[in-house]
Amino acid sequence: MAHSSVVASIAQAVGNHGSRQVALVVRSADMAARARREVLSMTESGAALVIPVYTLDQYAAAILRRAGGRPRSRPIGELEREIVIGRLLKERAGLGQLTALGRSADRPGVARAFAGAITEMTQAAASPEQVERTLTGGAAPAGVHADFLAVWRDYEDFLEAHGLSDGEDSYADAARALKAQGRQALGDPERVWFDQFFNVTPAEAALISAVARLVPATCVSLACTQCDDTDFVVERVRRLVEPAAVEVRVPGECGPTVAGTDASVSHSTPELSIMTAPGPAAEAREVAREVKRLIVEEGRRPWEICIASADSAEFIPALLEAFEEFGVACAAPRKRLLSSSMLVLDCVALADAAASRHSGFDLVRLLASPYIGRGPACAAQTARAIGVKGLKLTTGRWKARLRRTDECGDALALVETLAEAWSGNFGKSGGLADRAREFRGLLAAVGMPESIMAVDNRDWAVESWAAWRAFNSLLDEIARSAGDGEAGGDGGWAEFARILGSAIRRRSFPLERPDPAGVKVVGPARAAESEWPVLLLSGMAEGTFPRKMRRPWMFKEDDLERLARSGVGVMLPREHAAMERFIFNAAVGAAIDRLYITYPSSATDGSSVRRSFFVDELLDSMGISAEDERRITASISPRDVFPRRLGMAASPRELALCVLALARAHGQAHEQAAQLMPEVREWSRQRPDLWEIASWWKDRSTQGQGPGFSVYSGAVGAPDLVDSLRTKMLLGAVWSAGHFDDYLRCPFAFFCSRVLQLGAVEEAPDEPTPLTRGGVLHDILRRFFERRLGSCLVPSKIDDYHSEMASIAREELDKVDIEAISMSGPAWEAYRSSIIAQAIRTLDAQVELACKTDGFWSPAHVEWSFGLAFRPDAAPSSVREYLILSGGLRVCGRVDRIDIGPDGALAIYDYKSGSSANLPKFNEIKEADEVQLGVYVLAVERLLASSSQPVAGAWYYSLRDNRMGSGVWREEYHDRFAAERRRGGKLSSEEWREYVDRVQASALDVAGKAAAGVFHIAPRKPSSCAWCNYRRVCQVYMLDLEALSQSAAGDGDTCTGGDCRG
């Protein structure tokens, strides 16, 4: 309602003079509606017809209609204003007419700062000429002032040319109409009240003053509690609105009363309570909980309660979410930024694709959208078919690539749709209005907005439709920014996409319709404009309230001082602080029955926060002692943010958490949890909506017995699933040699990749990945050694070797899919050179090893496979037989290279692209904690070697370091491997057989655990979590991501041979 004294005065005036015409003007539409209801309740039937209630905008529009003048077509929007000013800045910068800004005029934030400064000058009823005279003293403007004034004048010309209004121009137009036409424009009111215009701007005051000159009984009424700055604010209002009278009412001279004391005085002495909680989110939940208590237990009606918060960034969003959870009706809808809507992000991605259509765009990103493309499943299928994601190509190159694969029909259809939409004169001329029109056509071509309602989830569709409406209005505003019939200057697709991407981070959309009869959520100034039975002043923390004054950066403090002295109504820092104090005390005076003051005791990051000094001033003025303050203050500790008693639960979610906490307090056994249920049932009789969640907890407790595994242990306990796993992992499975090590490195990662088969498609990299690099090197070495089977390397032929190796390397590099790599031409040539150089260094290391071992080893088998289908590059000696372990477990694999000695002994090598420091340690290999090499040994002994051909050793070879990293070998061949001082993997004949037996036992143990459903989240090296493809599934990485990232630097060995290629 409006302040009761004003309504009472109006009712008295109408009662004494039944035909007397009066008018009431208030700030907001909501306040106007409340005032109309109050006037109707306090006047006789029909009397309200002579008491029109306006907002100031409505009053100015009514004056302009009576004056018969041509009103401006419409007000300019905030984004539209920034776009226009940004274009004006660019035009002047292009002509070299910005002396201070120069070419930096298009930097982010400049247009927004200029727009804010122009709006502030408009509110101060200042003109460019007046500001120029004040700042320059008659001289020519210089520096940033000259730039600002020039752009301001250009902007005024733009508004005039297109009939647009900005900010408070309508007030100035109405004031001029009153001055020109007098009573003809105003009508016949005998008295006009302007209620609670305590923060009136000079532009608003000009209209009030014009009304007062025609209606002497014009009054500006103010209601506030007494404070140090009341006289200053009242005098400021009186000076601005002169000759209108200013009436001041100070409600509750004795101020609020302390909760628990005798409050049997008038309604102007509300009861005071204080609440504090750890952080804005916790504060919001406690406020929401108290509001629900007031409604449920005290019978307060929601529309009687107002929450005034200065923290719109953190407190209000958390409060609205809490109201949604608690089921409290609210007059303010929950909102989300447009940038949080997947629909809007997909639309902006389409705009980005249009902007980069000539250089290349990411089709898979568009294809993944359920609105623009065919959904995530289709995008995943396409990404797997082309073998990479994040690839950016033009439409022509996309068509050529997709036509090679049958699985990409939907992707090809989308590309053809985009190519057709982008054909002709698309984007070749015009400005932002043309871009908006083309963008709407592009959206229609891909099925928008009809595709919104085609999604399966209707709740999601409703939210997306709300986002689409807000986004569509954003496009309208961008289109209007060029003005009617203008091209709009610089309006290319890159600029259009940039504006869209910036605007969606500042615009929001409602998630539901507001409830007019719900709890009001407003700012402190708006709360001070009305009276409220229950008022909660929230977010009263230092730094949040009083709010910091934002000064336009193009004006220094002495510039503002000069403007103020010249009569320009700008707000100075000291005046801003005084106004904030007045607003706080006016809001305190707006409470009728109950007043709550709440503030966070800490920030979101946990740092301590002081409460606003306005709160301290209020308590001192009321004479509240420290003991009384402790008695009226409810301090919520971090452990009490969620209720610990059933009676405190305000939602089903909180009841569930409360039951969990109480069950834990009574013990973990499900029997004890079940004993708790009578108490829950008793509570649920009063709250039947909470019974379902409580029953769920009982059922969950009963079912929690299981096979001994917790739900987070990573173990599969369901008997039918275990039976399926036994078939999948043992009876019908073929294990790769590398699969065993995958399990040993992390059972849960093995579960994701091998059991669930959650394959990850790699992003299109800026340069070839280590896997690609290793694969190329692997193929180069394979081709080189295939030509030298049976012969050792000879140092005297090193030059011929170099030429041949370089030739092979160039041929293999020509096979690399460059389209899948976002590299420039010079960068690719540099990369080719580095690969060739590394291949030659590897060759030099192999020749050096041959010298150290006196040419003992010569290549015998390259790409030898067992249990796999033959490939053209496989060794002729490869076998289709599986390696059969005990129990019939079948194993397959591929060995990179096998050398042979004069005595028939065999040496096994497995290439690794990583550093030798990241290879398995000697002890891990020897103890069968890593079994891949051991499986190769078993396969070669059983499927390739004859009885007279022992396996002399098996090694991991680091292609990065060009050396044998780690492995196992028979002690009699120690010198033949040039092992020198390395002793960790040297084994006697007896130890060799024990090693082979350990490998077989370890492999069988891994298969047995996998068949039993044991997939614990237990990475052998925690550092590997930083680059695991499944870290966002298990979320162990969230425990200490920074530490994992640091310890993982340089880690991440990539297999380029062996099983990774099979």
pLDDT at residue 459 in the model: 59
Give 723's contacts (C-beta < 8 A, 6+ positions apart): none
Cross-strand bridge partners of residue 986: 969
Taking the C-alpha atoms of residue 591 and residue 586, their distance in angstroms, rounded to an integer, is: 9
Nearest alpha-carbon partner for 249 in 230, 272, 270: 230
Amino acid at 133: R
pLDDT at residue 320 in the model: 92
pLDDT at residue 816 in the model: 81
CATH H superfamily, domain 4-70+170-249: P-loop containing nucleotide triphosphate hydrolases (3.40.50.300)
CATH of domain 257-333+514-615: 3.40.50.300
- Residue 907, SS3? strand
* Angle ∠(185,188,193) on CA atoms, nearest 5: 95
Taking the C-alpha atoms of residue 354 and residue 350, their distance in angstroms, rounded to an integer, is: 6
Percent helix, strand, coil in the chain (nearest 5)?
Answer: 55, 15, 35
pLDDT along the chain (1062 residues), means of 10: 59 58 85 78 60 87 81 77 89 87 80 89 88 85 89 90 82 89 85 89 92 92 82 90 88 54 51 93 92 90 92 90 89 88 93 92 91 87 81 89 82 92 88 90 91 69 88 90 53 87 90 84 90 94 87 86 86 87 91 94 85 92 90 82 66 67 50 49 52 48 42 63 73 84 88 79 67 86 90 89 92 80 74 89 90 90 92 88 88 94 92 84 89 94 84 91 89 86 85 93 90 82 76 59 38 37 30
Taking the C-alpha atoms of residue 405 and residue 398, their distance in angstroms, rounded to an integer, is: 12
Taking the C-alpha atoms of residue 854 and residue 846, their distance in angstroms, rounded to an integer, is: 12
Query: Assign residue 299 a region: left if phi > 0, alpha if psi is -120 to 50, beta otherwise?
Result: left
pLDDT at residue 766 in the model: 64
In the chain, where the domains are located: 4-70+170-249, 77-166, 257-333+514-615, 338-510, 646-703, 719-759+1028-1054, 770-1027
Does 4-70+170-249 match 257-333+514-615 in CATH topology? Answer: yes
DSSP-assigned letters across all residues of 749-775: HHIIIIIS----PPB--SS--HHHHHH
Q: Are 235 and 251 in contact (CB under 8 A)?
A: no
pLDDT at residue 231 in the model: 87
Taking the C-alpha atoms of residue 88 and residue 152, their distance in angstroms, rounded to an integer, is: 9
Taking the C-alpha atoms of residue 880 and residue 636, their distance in angstroms, rounded to an integer, is: 71
Q: Which structure tokens are listed for 852?
A: 């150290």
Rounded alpha-carbon distances, angstroms, from residue 645 to 516, 638, 680: 33, 15, 11
Please provide the size of the chain in residues: 1062
Q: Are 69 and 173 in contact (CB under 8 A)?
A: yes
Rounded alpha-carbon distances, angstroms, from residue 32 to 24, 63, 198, 969: 9, 18, 17, 91
Nearest alpha-carbon partner for 304 in 271, 286, 331: 331
- Residue 600, SS3? strand
Nearest alpha-carbon partner for 6 in 27, 207, 534: 27
Taking the C-alpha atoms of residue 229 and residue 935, their distance in angstroms, rounded to an integer, is: 86
Nearest alpha-carbon partner for 576 in 541, 600, 551: 551
Whether this prediction's pTM lies above 0.75 is answered by: no
Q: Are 714 and 1016 in contact (CB under 8 A)?
A: yes
**Phi, then psi, of 351 in degrees rounded to 5:** -65, -40
